[in-house]
Structure 1
């Protein structure tokens, strides 16, 4: 194996905990559009909100997520349908936070390799997340699908990152949580795919990651990456 010169990462559910951000957005909605809500009802509402979000995950337009939720749980204060997308765009990116330990791991990696982000999603929201969490200054390249015109698992978005970093596919690793989009995608570009699986889920697919990690510490402990 050639010396690893670059490690690239997915953003949502890899570098950033999207599930926590969805929780935060839900509580903003409660505060803005609902009065006092009983705890048991609030739990049901959150569960349903997450179901709607999961259903439309990957779609840039989140109007249906919010409209479905408000139809199921009529709010005290109405948010017009034509304002729902703006609400999501303006609020959701700022619901994210970065784990400080993750930043320390990235800093350690940067002493040895180039690092980058490849993420699917809208340019506006993904850039806002990256800027808000302070990630922008840590990475040598950031590619957002809407901005570059290719969406994971299309191998071209991975190849574009490799070209910008001036590294060969066998000199780079990609770390992501999505087996199809992240792992199969990068493997099509001849990169090695590291499955980030913090919840230690069973692999339900025929896709075979080159390695599996449950924490970013395992990347640092894999000293062979940097030797």
Structure 2
């Protein structure tokens, strides 16, 4: 049995439907060939521009699946560095938490030049982050704004428990509206991680709402179908990213 496959369910097939990837395969115990994807270069402008916002979401779904199955793409980071040195054409801008266990690029199996990334405790928005997102989408051409929360979030727990510490106090205050708006019948304490996760999900929803409310630039881009603004949650146990396309 030949163990050479051409795989289309990868980044390049999403970007350009007629582009076939050359993949290496390994033989599993069952005797079935398992494809391995190689990304030798960063996104080109033509590849990125050919994508729709839904293409980008599906691309990240597939990247997260590879992450969970421990079969990440073979990223040639030196090649990606070289090909992106003269210009960058990322497909998305991601707002995620600073938690060391939730690195968005790894979770989504993304390479150099593929995503703009902003990280702040509790994945909250502010004017500086909004300005960065506006640059990413209106100037650089990104197709997706993705807000990524995660389970077991310490910032959310701190907000629930009214933690106070220097500048962190004001940051946690921005998460607190999600606490009041979370519909939950159990114990509403930071020690209850089911409640923490429910608040984290609501906080993602409120952040998405605030982006639309506070950035007319991004809202106009979304209203005209040029971008999507969506939320997501990364599960520390299991590694699944749930995408909330609303």
Hey, which of these two has a bigger chunk of strand by percent? Answer: 2
Relative contact order (alpha carbons < 8 A, sep ≥ 6): 1 or 2 greater? 1
TM-score above 0.5, yes or no? no
TM-score by length of 2: 0.26
